[in-house]
Every structure is written in C-alpha cells, then in structure tokens.
C-alpha cells in the first residue's frame, strides 16, 4: 500500500455504534508535500474534521469538513495570492476491489482500504485537490483590454458589400 503525503490511519474497531469523531491537522512537512502534489506554491495549513459511522462490518460512511489556507497563482496576473479553501463532503470507505464503477454525481465517492484501517489523511488530500479552483483569479484581477477593441458589435464579413449595393 502506498503511503500518502498526509497519512492518518484509523482502526475500524475504534468506530463504535455512535460513530467516531476525528480531527486531523497537517504538519509543516505534510503541507509542503501536499503543495507539491496539488501543484500550488504553498499549502499553509490543512485541518479536516470527520464523523465516521459504520454502515456494516466493512463499510464506513464519513462526513468531513475541510479547512485549508493555500497560495495559488492568479491566471490573469500570474501573481501569487493566499486564499481559503472550505469544503464539506461525504465519502464511503469500502474494501479494496469493492469500489463502484458507476458514475453518479449524487452518490458518495468510494475510497478503498486494505486490512482493518482507513486513511483519513488521504481522504482529506483528495478532497483538497477537488476543492482547489483550477483557474484561480486574484480578487480585483482584470483581463487586459485587447488592442483596437471597441464597444461596437463586430461587423459581418459581407457588410462592405451591402454598402456597395446601396450605391446602385
């Protein structure tokens, strides 16, 4: 099994009938590794809270609340800026090989696990990746005006021919 940049395992046996609440926080080294993985300049902080409930012996439903502070590069100005990421999500932990192949945007994502432990850190890392804006724009960033741009509507390619016809 591959260990993620933000590994935080929980034994399934710890999840009782009332569920289990777990909060995880990334260290400085984990934040640096996550920044490399997410291809952002900096991950300053990442905290994720989970509420875990066993659906049955092998399946665990997880509700999560992710909070992160990252630096991104503006697609307009190419300047770095800090931004907050907040995401509430639900996932299911299932034994490896039992993930569903159906594409259903309304269904919870299945995250596979091996043995008797689930990796909450990897779940948080995946959710961070999904929550990061792929085209970040710094507040106030404006696209530069095109040279020769006017507020007039574009002319039709045959508009000049129409004016010639009026001369006849």
Residues 6+ apart with CB under 8 A from 13: 116
Average pLDDT, the chain: 87
| 161, pLDDT greater than 70 | no
H/E element, 124: helix 120-131
For residues 118 and 111, the answer to whether their CB atoms sit within 8 Å is yes
Query: Residue 1 has what pLDDT?
Result: 44
Give dist(CA 121, CA 12) in Å, integer. Answer: 15
Query: Residue 46 has what pLDDT?
Result: 97
Strand order in the sheet with 109-113: 20-25, 42-54, 60-73, 80-95, 109-113
Name which residue leads in pLDDT, 141 or 24. 24
| 96, pLDDT greater than 70 | yes
| 168, pLDDT greater than 60 | no
| 166, pLDDT greater than 90 | no
Q: pLDDT digit string (tens) for 15-28?
A: 999 999 999 999 99
Give dist(CA 168, CA 139) in Å, integer. Answer: 55
């Amino acid at each position: 099994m591959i260990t993620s940049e933000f590994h935080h395992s929980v034994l399934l046996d710890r999840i009782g009938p009332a569920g289990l609440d777990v909060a995880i926080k990334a260290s400085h080294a984990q934040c640096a590794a996550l920044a490399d993985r997410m291809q952002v300049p900096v991950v300053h902080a990442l905290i994720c809270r989970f509420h875990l409930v066993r659906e049955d012996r092998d399946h665990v439903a997880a509700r999560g609340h992710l909070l992160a502070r990252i630096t991104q590069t503006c697609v307009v100005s190419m300047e770095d800026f800090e931004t907050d990421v907040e995401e509430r999500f639900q996932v299911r932990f299932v034994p490896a090989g039992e993930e569903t192949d159906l594409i259903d945007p309304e269904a919870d994502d299945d995250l596979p696990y091996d043995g008797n432990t689930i990796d909450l850190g990897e779940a948080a890392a995946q959710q961070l990746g999904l929550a990061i804006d792929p085209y970040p724009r710094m507040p106030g960033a404006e696209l530069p005006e095109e040279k020769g741009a006017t507020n007039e509507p574009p002319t039709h390619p045959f508009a000049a021919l129409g004016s010639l016809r009026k001369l006849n």
